[in-house]
Structure 1
Amino acid sequence: MFKTALIYPAAALAEIAGCFSFWAWLRLGKSIWWLLPGVFALVIFAWLLALTDSEAAGRAYAAYGGIYIAASLGWLWAAEGMRPDRWDITGAIVCITGAVIILVGPR
């Protein structure tokens, strides 16, 4: 569980950075060279997610989804300068709660 708690935020950062590079290229008019680090970040994301302590990929991905949502709101604030509102924060709390239930629920 501890290992997964470290991997998920790192995977989220890699995925968001990778996806943002495509966003920057398509939507913000950045150079096509932005795609190179983006592809690299997405490869790192996939590798990290495969390292989680889960017996099933689907369960690992489901739990990761909650962390990704919260990390995306952090990106919104830190990288895009838009502060999440109370509904964003409430939604993130619900998602993280769901991720914890998936991860620690008795099997």
Structure 2
Amino acid sequence: MTVLRSLLLFVLAAFAEIGGAWLIWQGWREHRGALWIAGGVLALGAYGFVAAFQPDANFGRILAAYGGIFVAGSLAWGMVVDKFTPDRWDAIGAAICLLGVAVIMYAPRT
């Protein structure tokens, strides 16, 4: 159950951070306005809180592992929202990052 909770928190964090950054991008770069930017700022703030709910007590470990989630999540967001098509190197890189997440977060420790 702890691993499942951790994975769900990583997905929620990715949605908040990537979504927040995307909203700011849309508000600023695509000239959609201040409300989009404000929504992005709120989502980025929510991301900061989500990470605090991870069961592991080590901030550095959580943030390092989240980096791999962010890489894969950003490519997935681009595919779904922006119709971006990753190439095989994107997919290989994301898989390596997710393997790193698994090692950092879920390797047995004594």
**TM-score normalised per structure 1:** 0.94
Instruction: Provide structure 2 residue ranges, at least 5 long, that are not aligned to the other structure.
Output: none
Structure-to-structure mapping, 1:46-85, within 5 angstroms: 46-85=48-87
The answer to whether the 8 Å contact 1:77/1:84 transfers is yes
C-alpha distance in 2, partners of 1:23/1:39? 11
The answer to whether the 8 Å contact 1:9/1:68 transfers is no
The answer to whether the 8 Å contact 2:28/2:37 transfers is no
Give the paired residue count. 107
Partner SS, residue 106 of structure 1: coil
Q: Find the partner of 1:96 among 91, 94, 98.
A: 98
Residue matched to 1:106: 108
C-alpha distance in 1, partners of 2:7/2:36? 29
C-alpha distance in 1, partners of 2:29/2:45? 22
Task: Note the aligned Cα RMSD (angstroms).
Answer: 1.0
Residue matched to 2:19: 17
Partner AA of 1:16 in structure 2: I
C-alpha distance in 1, partners of 2:91/2:55? 27
**TM-score normalised per structure 2:** 0.91
Runs of 4+ in 1 over 2 A off after TM superposition: none
Give the C-alpha shift of residue 105 in structure 1.
2.1
Partner AA of 1:80 in structure 2: D
Give the C-alpha shift of residue 67 in structure 1.
0.9
